[in-house]
Amino acid sequence: MEFSIPIRFVDIENSGVHIAVSGFINGNLANILIDTGASQTVFDKNRIHLFSDQTEFEKLEKLSKGLGTATMEGFQFEIGQFILGDLVLIEYQLIALDLSNINESYEQLGVGPIDMVLGGDFLKKYKARIDYGLAELFLNM
């Protein structure tokens, strides 16, 4: 079964574009960045309170790398319901990281904050295909 999700192109000061989609996390609208170069799907730990009442998180033993830093502390996080287009995922596990550096950059560009980054793990699992001409993200189950 294939799912189609409209994508948005975020202009980066006329030097390139980022790709974003809208989704729903626990019933709340979320701004989600698609990053084909990110190895993992992550959630902004600073924005969890907007989507969940969860206050305690399991700290990961392994430090995460990337996102403009050498290493960063991560936490295990579960989304009760995650919806992208017609794809509905229940009890979806991911990592929460501090994405404030991304959101500070986006704020300078006049773009709203990013709640989540879809990375290679998600894109591979759902056999993602991005069609720039149609402005669509295709996911397969």
pLDDT digits (tens, 9 = 90+) for 26-75: 999 999 999 999 999 999 999 988 998 876 767 776 544 444 444 567 88
Cα separation values, 72 from 43, 55, 67, 86, 136, Å: 13, 19, 9, 33, 32
* Per-residue model confidence (pLDDT) at position 61: 64
pTM equals 0.85
Find out whether 29 and 14 touch, Cβ atoms under 8 Å: no
Q: Provide φ and ψ at 32, rounded to 5°.
A: -125, 125
- The predicted-structure confidence for 109-134, as pLDDT tens digits, reads as follows 877 899 999 999 999 999 999 999 99
| Residue-range domains of the chain with CATH | 2-140 (2.40.70.10)
Counting every residue written for the chain, the total comes to: 141
What distance in Å separates the CA atoms of residue 125 and residue 121, rounded to the nearest whole number?
6
